[in-house]
Amino acid sequence: MDNVKLKKTTRHAETRDLQARKTVWSPPRQLDAPAPPEGFKYRWIRESLQGQPDDKNITSRLREGYELVREDELSAEDKMKYPAMSEGKYKGTIGVGGLLLAKIPLEMAKSRNEYFQKKSKEVQEAIDNEVLKDEHPSMPMSSNRSSKVTFGGNQ
C-alpha cells in the first residue's frame, strides 16, 4: 500500500481559473463599424436629420470620393450586426439611425485631411495677422500663444 501514488492537482492549476481575465460586458456603441477592406477607411455619414432627408450632405460626401457600402460587401457575420436599408433610395446600403456607412480610399482620406489642416492653418494665420494689424505701440501683442496651469504650492 505504500507504493500507491495519488494524483494531486497542483496549486497552480487550481488557481489558474481565478487568474484568467474576466470578460467585461459593455453596451454596444451606435457608431461601431465592421473592419473596412484593405486600402479603405469607413465613415458614417448623415442621411437624415430629425426625420428630414439630408441629400445635400450625402451628395457632398459622394463628390468628395466616398462610396456607400452595400450589404453584399459585408461578410455574413457583419450582415447580422449592421442592417441594410430596406426601402427608399438607399435600399441595400448599410444604415443605422439616419446614418449611412461609406468608404473612401485611404490615400484620398489622407489627402482630404491634409487639405483641411492646411485650410485651418491659413485661417488661423489670417486671424492672427488681422489682430496684429490693429496693434497699438503702447499695448504690444504677441502672436506666441501659451498658457500655464498651476495647482497651488510654490510657483
Per-residue pLDDT reduced to its tens digit, 74-124: 988 888 888 898 888 999 999 988 899 999 999 999 999 999 999 999 999
Q: Is residue 92 one of the residues assigned to a domain?
A: yes
- Amino acid identity of 26? S
**pLDDT reading at 29 higher than 90:** no
Query: Taking Cα atoms as reference points, which of 100, 75, 95 lies closest to residue 85?
Result: 95
Q: Is residue 50 one of the residues assigned to a domain?
A: yes
Distances (CA, A) of 114 to 55, 88, 111, 118: 26, 35, 5, 6
Q: Which three cell numbers stand for residue 79?
A: 450582415
- What's the pLDDT band for 129 if we cut at 50, 70, 90? confident
Q: Is residue 65 one of the residues assigned to a domain?
A: yes
Q: Is residue 127 one of the residues assigned to a domain?
A: no
Q: Is residue 146 one of the residues assigned to a domain?
A: no
Q: Is residue 62 one of the residues assigned to a domain?
A: yes
> Which range of residues forms the domain containing residue 98?
40-105
Q: How many domains does the chain have?
A: 1
What CA–CA distance (Å, rounded) separates 97 from 38? 26
What residue spans of the chain are helical by DSSP H? 11-19, 55-64, 76-81, 106-133
In sequence order, the 6+-apart residues with CB closer than 8 A to the CB of 96 are 30, 44, 82, 83
Q: Is residue 10 one of the residues assigned to a domain?
A: no
